Each structure stands twice: as C-alpha cells, then as structure tokens.
Structure 1
C-alpha cells in the first residue's frame, strides 16, 4: 500500500463490518448478570440500564452486561434513532454520558483481577447525536493514573475504538474519562481481556502498547476476525489491494509453537499478500499522531510471516525489511512453511512525521516477499505514581461500605488535581502519596464504623460527624499513631470509649469529639462524668477526652478525681525509677556478655549453619595510631565516624573505621557489625580484618577498597576519576546484588542490611564491588518469619521502603526497594534525591522522564551513548519493579541477579548487535534464529 494509512480507513473498515455483521451482538437474552466470565473477560454495554438483562453476542457468543456495577457516575442515553440500523450491534444503541455533576474524571473499576498480569483493554465510542446537540466531543482517556489517548469523535455516525495492552499492577484496572472542556465525555462499550504475561514482551510494568492498527492481509470476505478465532479477542482488520497485491491462502493450519510471543490465530495467518509485480516491494506507511501529552510518540511495528505454499527445492523466498530506509536485519528473512514468525523493532522508533516499512526481495530470492499480518503500536509510559497500596485498598473498602458517591473514582490522591473530595494527601519526595486526612462530615453514612479506617496508617484527622453511624467505636483507631483528631459528633454510636483511645486522649496525643451520641458511654468505666471546673484560670489543655460538637467552644471533661491522678502519678514515677535501675544493671551485663561473645568459639549448630570462630585480630588503640600514621588520611565518613587509610606491618593496606564521640551509633551497632562480619563471608561483602575495643575507643579494620565508594564515581566527586562505562556499571550492580542475595538467601537466619545505598557499595582496585557497613543489620528470628518488627525506622532518606516507614515491619523486600534506587543511580548518574528544582526522589524523577517514552531521557549522558538500549530498558524496568509501592510486587534479589546477568551478557555482545531489532519466531527455529535471538552482521548471537 502506498501513501499514508490514515485512521479514517481503519474507522471505515470498523463501520462497514459493524453494519454488515453486527459484531457487537444482537443475540438472545442472558438472564444472569456477571462481572467476569469463565474466560476472565469483562464485556460491558455502557448505558444499558442496571436492571436490564444481559445478552449474548450472536457472533462471538460472548456475554455482555450492564456497566452499572463498575461505575457510580454518569447517566444512560439512547442514540438518536436516525443513526440506528437493523444490523448494528446492540452495544452501540446506547451510551453512558458524564455530564452535569459527574466531575472532571469519571472512572470504571474493572475487576477483580490478578494483580501484576497483562491485560488488553478496549473502549468503544459512537456519538450518534445521543444528546441532540449534534456536536461531537473531545476528551481524554486514562488507564489508572496514566494518560492513554485523546478521544476525538470525528462525526456522529463513525465508531471510534481504542485499545491498549498494559500490565495492571493492582487487583483492578481503572479506566477513566477526563473532561478537557471540549464536550461531555461518553462511552458506548468497554472490554477487558486477560493476556499471558509472555505475550507482547514490549509491554511491561513501565510501558504499555496503544494500538494504532492490527491488520490481516489477504482475506477476500472482508470479515473482521476476533473471538473465537482469536482466543484473546483481538480485532484483525482485513486489508487488501487488488491492484497491487495478490492474495494467497491455505486451508492448512498455521502453527504457533509453545511460548509464542504473539499467538497469532491460524485463521489470520492462513491468508497473505505478495506483490503482483514480483520485482516490486510490499510497502505500507503510517503517520505519527503526536499530542499535547505525547509530543513525540514512539512506535513499535510487528510483522507476522508464514510461508503458505510448498516451494520447489530450487525456489527461495527471501527478503529484507526496512523502516524509513534503514535496514532492520543484517541478512535476508525466509519464512517457515506453516509456522508463524515475526520481526519487530524492540526499540520504539521516534522523530518522524511518517513511517514507511518496505519488504524487498534479496538478489537470491526467486519469489517475491510475503506478508500475513501486521500490528502497529505507540508506546505509552505507565510510570505514573499512585497512592500507597494499603491506602488504596482501605479507601476502596470504605467507599464500598458506605456507597460514597462524590468523585471517589480512580486513584484516591493522584493525579493531584483529581484527588478525592474530602481527602487530605501527603506528597513526599521519597514515597508514594498517603492519605493523611478524611472528612466525611454530613455525607449520609450509616452502619457501623468500618475497620478499614485503621488501614490508613498515616491518617492525622478523621471527621465523621453529622452522619447516622451506629455500633461501637473500634479500639483499632488508637493504633493510628499519627491520628490527632477524631470527630464523631451527631451520630448514633453506642457503648463506651475504648481503653486505647482513652489513653491517647489522656496523654494529650489525641482529641476525641463525640457529642450528641445519645447511647454512647451508657455503660463502662470510661464514661463517668467529672463536674466541670468553674472559674478556673488554668488555660492549659487537659489530657482527657473532649466531648463537643464540631463548632462548640465548650468542652465537657471526663476522667477520674484529681487526687487519684496525683497518687497514680507518684506511684508511677517510683516504679519507673526502680525499673530503670534494674534495666541499667541488666544492660551492663548484656554489654559485657556481647563483648565477651566476640572472641567466643562456635561450632556447627543442629541446623547445619556454621558460626565461624571470630579469630580476627584485636588491635589496641596505639596500634591503630601507628597503622594510620596518627589518623592522617581520611578516606570516608559515615554515621559511625570517620574512615582512615592504614598500612599494616606486612604492607597490607587497610581501612580503619573509628567511632567518633559524637556518633549516634553506639556499642550495640559496633558489636552487631563486628559479630556479623565474623560469621559471614562472601566475595561481594567487605572483609573484616580486625577490631579495636580499647577503653572508650572502638574501631573496625577492613580490607582496603582502593576505588572508594560507588557514589563518588557516579556523582563525580573526583574530577580526575574516569566515567564508568555501562558494562562496568552492570558488573558493579551484579556483584552488589550477589552480596545482598547472599544475606537474604545464604545466611541462616536470613539477614536484612537496612542501609543499602551507593555510598555503602565499595570498589577495589579492579572495580569489583562489595557491600559495606553492617551496623544496622537485622536478622529474622527464623526462616519461617515473614517480617521483622522494629521500634523505629532506620536507614537513609530516599532509599527507605515506604511500606517499612508506614508499618515498621521490615522484610528483605525493604533491601530490594533500596537496591532499586541504587540501580536508578547507576543508570542516570544522578543522586538519590535531586533538586529539580524542588527536592525530588530519583524514583519519581525517572518515572516522569520515562513518560516521554525514551530511555535516553534518563541515561547518564557522560557514557556518550556507549550502551545497549535494550539492556538499559531492562534494568530501568527492573529498578522500577524493585521500587514498587507494594512489596509483594517487588522481585527477590535472586530475580534481580538473574536479570543483571542476562543484561551483562547482552552488553558483552553489544558491539555485534545490529540496531536492536529482534527477530521473533513463535517457537521453532527459523533460519537458525531463536525466539529472541538478535541478528548480527557476522552471525547469530
């Protein structure tokens, strides 16, 4: 096909097929309303009344239901009768419109789904002058918090269909229509189809694929192929051009081998086209479709081939593929007989107004090129930051329990201009947004107080006044450590105030308002009134429960007699002093025992774990003075103190980490690090040579790492240092990951580092990487533990796991999050917190930059492009998975090590790789090419 391939042509095919075949369904009535069918499909007829029976599509036999159960906004409308034809599919007859008070964003929640899986989402629109205005609107579509596309309805009788393939991170997919001020958003139908994660490998957690066209070449019947011919219900538009192409076909099945990347239906691959003039190429073009949100879209084109004719022995079909004149493959392509193969560009193509793909026969070819099908996608970044997973789940449960309408759709806090009404959100540098305030006053709530409020760990104020809430107040609210105000006035609550809340109000950390609840405090010991003090001049706030209406300035105090309070306080102080003296004696005993245990010999325990004898040398302080030449050369600084370079008697260089008097870290951290390093040994962990515990002086003596810390190389502290190459960075990342993997998997019990960062990754003279600084190390009590609870959050801002910050529950996934930040620093050469111009987490910075669709926007420019883009994309994707908000969605360090090993192999072969173009077979071998083999000029890599 010559010339541009406009969207209008695709729309014409849609419309003709819909009119002729009624593919959206006009079959029998289905009496059962279902959300997800046994295929995992969701098929919604938008605007179908909630009480209307669903129906089965007569062509596909798929079940369609009303969309009412998936959205709580919008109104139903029928299309103008002049646009309805007898053969038109039923789902086009009506729409759901989001005018009036629907708000700027209206979202469908499609689910329940399996979190982390890949899905195809398809939205359909036909205006049909349903509102009588005869003015087609323009509005935006979002998937989750990410921009998807702009819906631009060209006229009243033209259908518009939009499709995206994306990974859904949670247990539901959000599809949102956004009013941009150019007309009222509406929708005709909405489909969701689950896909195996092995399909469309270009779609991952950081990018989705927006369909431009999917074409089936060669059919003569003009039928759009979809389910059941395609088990994934993709639409394959027929394409033919009798003046230029000859159609060929076969009745034999065309096979997809196990592990196919695209799983193209046999019915699609059974037809193809070849040029009528055997010396002419097969050509097609498409125009770029930039928008304000995506000014330079990147495109991926997938070509599907299969030989349909058994060629004579002396015949050869071989051809080149070019994109805008650039050769995709270093040598000719020969399709297999009755097996599906594909070529696609792994790196999205950018920068052109028009794209031209050409299939040209090689000089050795005796028959012309062949083409069975194509798919063209634009790349959509899906890196938008979402609200903390735990808060999303809690808010969804609260919304469901109380049937809250308002604008409670989509993500609760993001994007900021669409945050839910009544919510206060905190937007910090290094962690996802969290809900800090919730105002549901006068919202018509009824029923009990939901336990889901306790899931909002960052909640600071909760206003549920002037509703019709019943039941008792849950004590779980007292566990919200950030909560400072609860307003429950004017409800129908009963029972007594829970002890936990009483304690919080008495210590002054919480204000509780609960006036005008007639049945509250009718019994129990926490509700006895105390006569209000009159003529008091003391204006200090009492540490007792406050009971008033939200606007009242008069407080009624409840508590216990003041004399009793004083007696209790005196007794408490006496008991506390006695307890502290005992703890002090115990603490001293523990310290002496810990110190003595350093030199203790250990044998193999009954679990097979060997605790090695700590026979490292013990230095005196005077020896350290001599080794360091009076602590002359400082080579590092940390929370423990300064690190000095030293030279031992035998000429061995060492690093001496000396605790300073002002250090926040004390003997506990010192002993922890010393004992740990005595017991664990790995090539990617810094080795301990000895220690010093000489009166008040404490020090650790390490092996010397001549090239210093990784952050010095990435951040350019030393102008004389050479810039690390991408291969060096990959190797450093791999070795660091192996060290962490050993702590998580190779130690018994497993260990968590808790302070993984680039300044704690040291490099020796050969640039071999080793993890250092084990003062904050934490061990599981047993291998069966799921987490370790800590009394306080420790680590470095910008590397801290947000889940750990919120719950104080530590897992090895906390290290994985920190290592994801390290990977992003390795890719970008930027610090973990940037000034952009405000302080910004590197995670957020990378996600925003990737929204442009190009990895080059984040890669360290000092590498001057000397890197394989595929390996960089893969590491960036892994880093963002490591920094996922939900720990369950993060990989293990074993997974990370495997990815880094693969990428290092890709980089080693980088000099021989041709343009990053992949040749993908659907399983079997094709001229020696494997499924993901990369063609090179000298052979197959």
Structure 2
C-alpha cells in the first residue's frame, strides 16, 4: 500500500476523533503568554478583542495569537466544514499573504533558556479563503527548517510536532511562503519538558514526530492532557484480527530517572499476537525530502508487564530492526513498571524500516508492546545572529515601530535577512549586522543609543525621517562605521567632535544636510562672545600658563634623562619585578642564560623544531645532556616584550604535569628567549595532519589520553590558580607531546588573569587568538571568560575525532564545528570519524566526545561545560575504551537515564525526532508507520 493511500485511510479513520480534540468550553477572560503549567495555547485567528476560553476537554486556556505576531489576517473557516463537535480552535485561521520568500514568525517568550520544549502547530484549511486550493509551505523553528506543510484536502486537519532545545528565552515559529499558496495556521501549542526527557534531543538536533501510538485501545480515545502531563497526543491502535488486547486497572509506575515519562493511562493497555508463536511486527517507510534526502529515524518502544505471571511463566523476546538484532539478549518487561527500548542515534539509509519482536527459546509467553514513538531527526545547527546584535536591532525595531516585516532572526537564513539589513557571515563567528538602511522609514523621536550596540556596523542610513534631538556620543563607539547618513531630519545641536575628527581623517563619511538646527563647526556652534572687558583675564592668565608649561617641560626632561640612565645600567631587576597581568613583583628564579650560552647549547641555532608568532624554536642540549627547546624572539615578531614577560613570569609561577615547564630565560640586550623542556614528539597538529609520511596515525585511545591530559592542564589554569588564568590560544599546535606521547599545554604569551576568583569576565581592548578557535561571544563582546578556553578546546576535540583542520575547505572555508554539526545531524558518527583509525575505536566513546565537543562550542558561554566537567567525561570515555574489547555491539536501553546497562552501550538504531508531515495525528500527523500493511497509518 503506497504512502498516499495509507494517509488517506488514516484521515478517514481518525477524523471523528480529532473533531473534538479541542472541545467547546466556557469563556474565560484570560490573556497571557504562559499559564501556570508553562503551557502556551494560541488560537490563531481569534480576534484580539475576543475573550480567551477554556477548552472543554483538556480544561486548558486558549488565547488569541494577536500579541505574538505582527503580520497576518484573521479568517473564519467556511461554514460547510464546521460541525457541532468540532473543537473551537479549528473555527478560524490566521493567513499570511505576500509573495514567495515571505517569512512570518510567531515569537513565544518567557521561556527558560536551554530547556526542551514540545512545539505543536495545527492546520485545517477548511477553504477559509474560498479558493478551494490547499497551500503548501514551509515551517521553521528558529533559524532551522522544520518541515513542509502539505495539506491533502480542505477537510483534513494536519498537526506537526517537534521537540527541541530552546537556546534563549524565546523561540520563533515561522511560516515561509514557498510560492505554492498562502501560508496559514489554526493553532500553536508549546509545552515545557524536563531536560532529562528525550535525551536524543539536544542543542544540535531536534525530534520531529512521525508516529506516537497507544496499543491495545480500540475505543477511539486519543489520550493527552491531563492523562499525559506533557500533553502528548497518543493515538489508539489495535488490530483484533492479529493482536490480543491486554489491560489492567492498576497504575503503571515510571522508574527513577525515566527518559520518556510515558503516562500510566497509556501503559495500562498493550497488545500481544493472537497466535502466541507469532512475532509482533510493524514497519514504516522513509520519507526523504529536498531538505532531508536521507532522513534518520529513532524508534522508542514502551513496555510494561500488565499480568502477574505464574511462577514458571517467562515473557522474553528479542527486538530486531531490518533483520539485525537490536538488543544483545532477550528483554523481559517489569510488572507494572515502564521500560523503554530505544535507539540513541538515528538510523538511515533504508527505504523501509521493519521492527520485529520475537519470543526467545526460553519464553513461554509471546511478546508484548504497550506504546510506540517514532521520530525523524532534525538538524538544529543553524547559527543565529550575534546575541548583542539581536538585542540591539530588536530595541531599535521596538523604539521606532519599524514596519518592514522584521520577523525571525535578523540575518539567518541568508535569504530571509531583514529588509534594509546588511550582514556578514564569517567562518568562525556568528553572523553580525554590518549595514542598516532605515531611510524614509517614518522614524521619529531621538536617536536611540541602541545603534551603538551594533558593534560591527559599517554603514547607517537614517536619512529622510523625522528624527529629533542631538547626535549622541555613543555613535563614537561604532569604530567600524564608514558611512553615516542623517540627511533630511530635524536634528539639533553640535556634531560630536569625535565624529568630526573622523570625517577629517577620512575614516568616516558623514552626511547631515537639511537639518536646520544641526551644526558641525564654526561660529554657529560657539556660545555668544563675552564683553571686551573680559579679555583682561585672558591677558593675565596666558603668561602665567606659559611659565608653568616651561617649568613642567624642564621637570619632564630631567625625569626622562634619569630613566634613560637607569636603562643602561643592565640591571635585570627591572625585568624581574614587572607588574603584569595581575602578578606583582614576580621574580624569575629560573636560570638566566646569555645569548652566547644559547648559541652554544643550540650549536649555533642549527636545528629548527618549530615556528610561531614569537619566532623560531630551536633544539638544544645543556651541559648535563638535558634536551631543551629554545624559543627565540624574532625581531620581526608581532609579539613584543609584554608577551615575552607574560610567558616567562607565568611559567615561573605555575607548575603542573600537563603544562610545559620553564627551565630558564634570556634577556640579553635586544635578545629575548625562553628555554623550556624539550617535547620530542612535537605538536599535536603534526600528528593529526601527518607532518611527514613516516609518522604513525594516533590511535583513538592515544587521542583520548592526549585530550584528557590537555584538559587537566587547562582545568589547572581555571581552577588551580589564584587568580584564575585564561590561556586564550588553545589549539592543537599549542599542545606538545613528549616521547611517551604525554600532552602538555604550551605557549602562554596571551595568558590573561582575572583580578579575583569572584570575577565573571575580563574585558580586553582587542580580541586575540587564532581564527577558527575563537569564542564567538568573546569575538563579539570583548569579554573574556574561562568558557573562551572551553570553546577552543571543543574545537581541539573535534580535530581529534575527525583528523581534520579547524577550518576546512568544503569547498568554501567552513568551521569544523559547523562541518561536524551538519554531518552528525544525519546520525552516523562514522561520517566524521578519522578514517585513518580504521574503525579501531569504541563508537560510544567517540559519540560522547563528539557530543561534549559540540557542547563546548555552543554559541552561548552559559551553555558550555566547565573544564572540570570535560575532564570527568574524558575519564569516562577512557574507561569505555578500556572495556571496548569486552562489550557487545552496543545498545542504549530503557529507563537508564542515559547510563549503560545490561544490554551494553549506545545503540545504533533508528532516529528520534518530532513533527513531520500530515496524516493521522489529530487526524493529520502522528507518523507514517504502517502496521504490517493493514490498518491505518499512524502519524
């Protein structure tokens, strides 16, 4: 049976159930964003003036969507489609006219950043526009594509559902006109979920619902809130010809730290095969699309034993997927407790997926199945516009009530960038606003200080508006601004001198014509002259000032002469007691070398073993045979004396087994050098990239140990030093290896110290570091935290997993973070693993490291782990690797809260997601699982 026929059958089968899914209810005068459950229930198209109401079935409060979107027109469904049993929220829609490419977005606010939410969008065309032509359009959640809304006919309601992590305090649901009809929506729901639920949904992927079935019910009741506190829709499913229904009136408990919290009302019913020797089988077809040509699927099977079994009775069964054994051994459900067997990672590459539950040889009873969920995986790796820019442009929009269809993310996706905005799309940092054209936009009032929040702004056109007041000094903060057009406004006062100066040096083009009360220089800006008698004071004061200036210059010359004499004395104490980076009066107790001694120990600087921004590094040997590395500052180096002193004093003060040790230093006239322990195996990047053909590929276990030792070094800087230190240049070329491949962090020239342990950040005058490793938040705000090192270390972890460079040519320059996110969203870790390891790795530890790396490289610092957290994960992964040879090909099993259990490890099964296209979920979209090929398709 093809998918279209199955969906048509499903529509006919579930239609009566869905008519009342949001039943009629009493009127309640309530308007609000989030109710006391954290739910948002929007009746889209309900007039703003209309009172909210309580749904008669769920007792949930619905309100108008008018306060959540600035676009659209309200319509009522055609009367011939309205029935007495139809839920009230279906009666009307909000429609969004406009041409192809138009994006209209709901903003759901007052959320908890980093929390998981279930978002549900409902559509019932009902020929509201009289065209009798159901549209096709796209849905986005935030900046990420969600699904394509494809409505089969006017009388078929369709529901799409997704579980996703919301990165901020709001989320936007956008309808996009793709040129195949006008987008519309009937209702929009949001439900908060505990972060422990659905562990497969994370910052990089969401779960789009394909199917959610409640087995063993044929009463046509869709279970949802209040039976399910999370208000999931559980579609009844039974086939009496093939399945025997089993039920209990007793409560079915959830185990501790349950990952899915299946409601008792769902788990109280189940099915077993009529023929006890037969398996329970079901299947679904893959549904590729242009946006997701090879979708991955995650399947969750919910089990509970509902009958007290006799002493000798055994219910045990295998689970197979497409003929492959899914669990390593037989599974036995617990009596009146929920269990779940599920795949942690998506399964793709198949046209059809077939699941079978087969009794084991020891089993005396047939398999049992209570409920089922199937999701497809949605990548949520789209990078949003820089946070600071979003806040600034939102404030500007609010102040001036800009009417330009400014909805959704300002810069992303590129083809939906806000009208009048220019954006830059750098490889290693979030998009930022570089241009803003609000000419002839009807702006009034004073110039907002929020413009200064757009730090990367290069041009700003505010001409031909009704702006009043003066030009604020905050415009001087726009250091990248090259064009400012204020022509034809009502501005007054003087142009700030700093802006005038920038126009004079040619760095800024300033246009301010036709502002009658605005002046830049000349007599017009000067206060009225005082009477002639006041000049007497000038005649007296000027000679006195001249004498004082002469005396001051004499004192300065004397001081400069004394200072020059002090420099020629050659006293190293000035070097030793420099106050730098919060460390006062640090003395270098290490050996001090002369330049001639360095020449001797390096044999005339014969062998170069490295090169960096400071200069070249030479191999040397001390008198006792100790091998050393001599880092000699080049005269052409970009790094100056301050960086040299920083590294010298830092290494003299801090000591850790995973930090390179300082042996001595040289400050001999113009020559400056550091002498530190020799790391014979060089830098990590050389091993990952292969400096020469003879170098062996690092094994996965070696990579894990290197990452752990490096992480311990960074953890020491962050936690073991007082005040805490930030390295600022963590990268694979600054991780050195000794003969035993032990890793140590090197190169401390950019180190920065906090003033105290209580400080949350350090502000810097400029951003330093290496492109591709730079924390995007630091890059945008100049505020440095230890999470900046965490971001860089996340990039290092990705390099260890993939063997790739931090910036790839793919074919355009692409950050390794983006590259990995895009590929892991497909669900196959082998798409990114370094092929040179030849598969000799525990797939679970690789997944864990990749996931940790992506958490480290989250856009917002607050979402990143600490280095202490990272060290703990790396320890766990080394333990997994050590047990690699003794573990079954893994599975991730029920109610374990993400930990391993008797069935092994993480499973490479199907993929989990929520929300997809239409069929039988609320009579339109709970999945496309065909149970054997008979009966309705569940969607």
- Compared CA separation, residues 150 and 529, structure 1 to 2 (3 A): farther
Deviates more, 1:496-505 or 1:821-830: 496-505
Q: 1 CA distance for matches of 2:646 and 2:385? A: 36
What residue in structure 1 maps to residue 903 of structure 2? 935
Contact 2:45 2:74 in 1 (8 A): yes
How far residue 372 of structure 1 moved from its aligned partner, in angstroms, is 0.9
Residue pairs, 1:51-66, within 5 angstroms:
51-66=49-64
Contact 2:615 2:634 in 1 (8 A): yes
How far residue 671 of structure 1 moved from its aligned partner, in angstroms, is 1.8
Contact 1:46 1:187 in 2 (8 A): yes
Unaligned runs of 5+ in 2: 529-544, 906-939
- The partner residue of 2:733 within 759, 762, 785 is 759
- The partner residue of 1:175 within 173, 176, 179 is 173
What residue in structure 1 maps to residue 841 of structure 2? 867
What residue in structure 1 maps to residue 141 of structure 2? 143
CA RMSD of aligned residues (A): 3.2
How far residue 342 of structure 1 moved from its aligned partner, in angstroms, is 0.7
CA shift digits 1:266-311 (9 cap, x unpaired): 1111111111211111111111111111111111101111111111
What residue in structure 1 maps to residue 762 of structure 2? 788
Q: 2 CA distance for matches of 1:316 and 1:628? A: 76
Residue pairs, 1:65-84, within 5 angstroms:
65-84=63-82
Name the TM-score, length of structure 2 as normaliser: 0.88
Contact 1:11 1:160 in 2 (8 A): no
Matched, 1:618 2:595: no
Contact 2:890 2:904 in 1 (8 A): no
Q: 2 CA distance for matches of 1:348 and 1:573? A: 80
- The partner residue of 1:806 within 764, 768, 780 is 780
CA shift digits 1:208-245 (9 cap, x unpaired): 11110111111242211111111111111111111111
How far residue 346 of structure 1 moved from its aligned partner, in angstroms, is 1.4
Matched, 1:701 2:701: no
Q: 1 CA distance for matches of 2:562 and 2:460? A: 44
How far residue 408 of structure 1 moved from its aligned partner, in angstroms, is 1.1
What residue in structure 1 maps to residue 405 of structure 2? 407
What residue in structure 2 maps to residue 28 of structure 1? 26
Matched, 1:475 2:442: no
- Compared CA separation, residues 594 and 366, structure 1 to 2 (3 A): farther
What residue in structure 1 maps to residue 696 of structure 2? 722
- Compared CA separation, residues 77 and 827, structure 1 to 2 (3 A): same
Residue pairs, 1:470-549, within 5 angstroms:
470-498=468-496, 500-505=498-503, 507-518=505-516, 520=518, 527-528=525-526
What residue in structure 1 maps to residue 909 of structure 2? none
- Compared CA separation, residues 726 and 934, structure 1 to 2 (3 A): farther
- The partner residue of 2:214 within 211, 216, 240 is 216
- Compared CA separation, residues 428 and 591, structure 1 to 2 (3 A): farther
- The partner residue of 1:745 within 686, 706, 719 is 719
- Compared CA separation, residues 118 and 78, structure 1 to 2 (3 A): same
- Compared CA separation, residues 322 and 204, structure 1 to 2 (3 A): same
CA shift digits 1:798-853 (9 cap, x unpaired): 22223333333222222222222212222221112222233332223333434544
Q: 2 CA distance for matches of 1:431 and 1:410? A: 19
- Compared CA separation, residues 231 and 471, structure 1 to 2 (3 A): farther
How far residue 388 of structure 1 moved from its aligned partner, in angstroms, is 0.9
Instruction: Find the residue that maps to 1:843 and give its secondary structure.
Output: helix
- The partner residue of 1:642 within 616, 620, 644 is 616
How far residue 795 of structure 1 moved from its aligned partner, in angstroms, is 1.7
How far residue 612 of structure 1 moved from its aligned partner, in angstroms, is 9.1
How far residue 144 of structure 1 moved from its aligned partner, in angstroms, is 1.3
Instruction: Find the residue that maps to 2:86 and give its secondary structure.
Output: coil
Contact 1:495 1:523 in 2 (8 A): no
Q: 2 CA distance for matches of 1:899 and 1:187? A: 44
- Compared CA separation, residues 667 and 867, structure 1 to 2 (3 A): same
Q: Which has the higher contact order (CA 8 A, sep 6+)?
A: 2
Contact 2:710 2:735 in 1 (8 A): yes
Contact 2:467 2:490 in 1 (8 A): yes
- Compared CA separation, residues 781 and 129, structure 1 to 2 (3 A): same
Contact 2:95 2:185 in 1 (8 A): yes
How far residue 597 of structure 1 moved from its aligned partner, in angstroms, is 6.7
Contact 1:47 1:67 in 2 (8 A): yes
Contact 1:497 1:527 in 2 (8 A): no
Deviates more, 1:798-807 or 1:382-391: 798-807
Instruction: Find the residue that maps to 2:889 and give its secondary structure.
Output: strand
The number of equivalent residue pairs is 885
- The partner residue of 2:44 within 38, 43, 46 is 46
Contact 2:495 2:520 in 1 (8 A): no
What residue in structure 1 maps to residue 531 of structure 2? none
Q: 1 CA distance for matches of 2:808 and 2:110? A: 38
Residue pairs, 1:566-577, within 5 angstroms:
none
What residue in structure 2 maps to residue 834 of structure 1? 808
What residue in structure 1 maps to residue 651 of structure 2? 677
- The partner residue of 1:237 within 235, 240, 247 is 235
Contact 1:339 1:922 in 2 (8 A): no
- The partner residue of 2:118 within 117, 120, 124 is 120
What residue in structure 1 maps to residue 95 of structure 2? 97
How far residue 588 of structure 1 moved from its aligned partner, in angstroms, is 9.4
How far residue 524 of structure 1 moved from its aligned partner, in angstroms, is 13
Instruction: Find the residue that maps to 2:903 and give its secondary structure.
Output: strand
Matched, 1:816 2:790: yes
- Compared CA separation, residues 126 and 815, structure 1 to 2 (3 A): same
Contact 1:640 1:660 in 2 (8 A): yes
What residue in structure 1 maps to residue 744 of structure 2? 770
Q: 2 CA distance for matches of 1:262 and 1:216? A: 14
Matched, 1:596 2:573: yes
Name the TM-score, length of structure 1 as normaliser: 0.88
Contact 1:103 1:407 in 2 (8 A): no
Q: 2 CA distance for matches of 1:852 and 1:528? A: 67
Deviates more, 1:503-512 or 1:241-250: 503-512
Contact 2:100 2:177 in 1 (8 A): no
Contact 1:126 1:188 in 2 (8 A): yes
Contact 1:30 1:53 in 2 (8 A): yes
- Compared CA separation, residues 309 and 728, structure 1 to 2 (3 A): same
- The partner residue of 1:288 within 286, 289, 297 is 286
Q: 2 CA distance for matches of 1:5 and 1:622? A: 88
Q: 2 CA distance for matches of 1:853 and 1:662? A: 48
CA shift digits 1:89-132 (9 cap, x unpaired): 11111112222358522221111211111111111111111222
Q: 2 CA distance for matches of 1:864 and 1:575? A: 75
